[in-house]
Structure 1
């Protein structure tokens, strides 16, 4: 007996609409949408190109605001000063360690909290209590000074864990993933349980593979959050050798503006604050730009469509 292929109403409607010739109004709407997308793309790309051009330009041209989309008097002096410092590479490794450990901890705790909270109250009786506590904690924090005292009393100052543990549970990400778990058909979990799967097996083998778009989104949030954060380093790190990258380059700007030694002034005579700041922005952006293409393919929806027939 031949199996009948079940097609969704959406697929049938899409196929029928694609056969019909588009009207003038429909084509005009498409042109307007593409024009808006193109304009938004240009608005996002032009500032980045300007920063790249400033970082490769001469200090005089940068200070005179003569740099547009192309470098003026091309040079790499700002990058030589930035990358030639051994502290830069130490801070870079600290940031990489923070991103790896922090993202792993964030994702683990987010998944383990979002899964039970996505269940109905009859399955998880304390669900509403935990949700109220999470929402309260998201709206009202303990404050900077109490948090600092907690980190200090735990002996975490000047350690990598001082940068990770205070934000170990990103509540906003928990709510995002919880809502995504709620959208997964319950029949998938019921079928897995009937086959003898435990709750942990259901989470690992059913929910997580289907939730790749949501997981990719919140993992990118965690990566960018850990990578771009500089204020935690100012609060919890006293030794410059333990600074994360963003804290280091923020302090580097302060140090450069206060240089008084003649030999140091000669070493940085070919750069300015504008070129150095532009180089810092470019260098700190590159890792995120390299990670994004690997996660971008998961930023799609509809993985659940067709996985089960209701």
Structure 2
């Protein structure tokens, strides 16, 4: 017999759902306001008349960004950076996590390497020594200066290592009986069943590489080599400088259609779209565990 939920239980559920909805609105409403600002006129934004819906709808901010040849170039640089960083990160993470997942008896010196990794995760040389290393390697103003300094994310290595430790030994033993080599065991047994952890570190790599603008400011001195985050961070509308430069009234009127607030809001919307498209593709691997139930003991 199924008992009806008590009044206290129903009231508790109503309170919980109400709190969750309110928290969701607190997170979403500011983002929606940013979208509305990006589609509003400069005058409406300056007068603070924009709420949840655009006022005097205009695409001027997006036209300024998307019509910029340098923006398209920087966007392509960021996409290339994300792809290269993702491939390099995943390969190095897997190759480091697999031996570290073994016991000290199977991999002599395992504890030494593990201690070095933890030490490097907690303490690093800092920005200036890193810059000097990048400079000595002649990587300044190249895309590799944005990728190689973070090629081995130690936290991700530890995350995947812990997942490898949880892989049933029965899978590895069965592969060894069939004559598989260590590399075959890694790429045909461990990697396929570790999709949830690999998807997690892949998401970390994509988001980190895409959102990073500070590395571009440090290692890139030529604007043409800026990643998109660094480039749009440098975009602004300075009316005083335009007036000093002698811009005519018609050109000035077209420029003043966009304020820094419009431009900044449009920047946020444009650069967040790729992440919104990628996240749903990886989310399904973050929910379910493939290893559970793969071997019956």
Whether TM-score is above 0.5 comes out as yes
Instruction: Give the counterpart of 1:131 among 114, 121, 124.
Output: 114
Secondary structure in structure 2 of the residue aligned to 1:298: helix
Aligned-CA RMSD value? 1.9
User: Residue 298 of structure 1 aligns with which residue?
Assistant: 285
**Distance in 2 between the 1:23 and 1:116 partners?**
52
Instruction: Say yes or no: does 1:23 pair with 2:10.
Output: no
Q: Which moved more, 1:41-50 or 1:69-78?
A: 41-50
Gaps of 5+ in 2: none
CA contact (8 A) 1:58 1:270 kept: yes
Distance 1:295 1:208 in 2: 16
Residues 161-198 of structure 1 deviation map (CA, whole Å, 9 limit, x = unaligned): 01000000001111111111112112221122122222
User: Shift in Å at residue 38 of structure 1?
Assistant: 2.7
Match of 1:276 in 2: 263
Displacement of 1:228 in angstroms is 0.6
Asked if 1 retains the 8 angstrom alpha-carbon contact of 2:237 and 2:258, the reply is: no
- 192-201 or 48-57, which deviates more: 192-201
Q: Deviation digits for residues 42-100 of structure 1, max 9, x if unmatched? A: 22221221111000011122122221111111101111111111100010010011001
Paired with 1:48 and 1:257, the residues of 2 have a C-alpha distance of: 30
Query: Which blocks of at least 5 consecutive residues in structure 1 are unaligned?
Result: 1-18
Which residue, out of 44, 56, 72, partners 2:27?
Answer: 44
C-alpha distance in 2, partners of 1:45/1:198?
50
Q: CA deviation at 1:29?
A: 4.8
* Alignment match of 2:126 (pick from 140, 143, 159): 143
| Residue equivalent to 1:7 | none
d(CA) in 2 for partners of 1:194, 1:220: 35
Q: How far apart are the structure 2 equivalents of 1:222 and 1:137?
A: 18
**2:167 and 2:291 in contact (8 A); partners too:** yes
- Residue 3 of structure 1 corresponds to none
| Separation (CA, whole Å) in 2 of partners of 1:288 and 1:86 | 22
The residue aligned with 1:12 is none
Q: Distance in 1 between matches of 2:17 and 2:28?
A: 16
Q: Give the number of equivalent residue pairs.
A: 292
1:118 — aligned with what?
101
- 1:1-310 equivalence runs, <5 A: 20-21=2-3, 23-24=5-6, 26-253=9-236, 259=242, 260-263=244-247, 265-310=252-297
Q: Is the 1:111–1:177 Cα contact (8 Å) retained in structure 2? A: yes
Q: Are the structure 2 counterparts of residues 148 and 125 from structure 1 closer, same or farther at C-alpha, using a change threshold of 3 Å?
A: same
Determine the C-alpha separation between the residues in 1 that align with 2:72 and 2:222. Answer: 15
Shift of 1:32: 4.3
For residues 238-270 of structure 1, what are the alpha-carbon distances to aligned partners after superposition, in whole Å with 9 as ceiling and x for unaligned? 111100000000111386785443436444211
Displacement of 1:139 in angstroms is 1.0
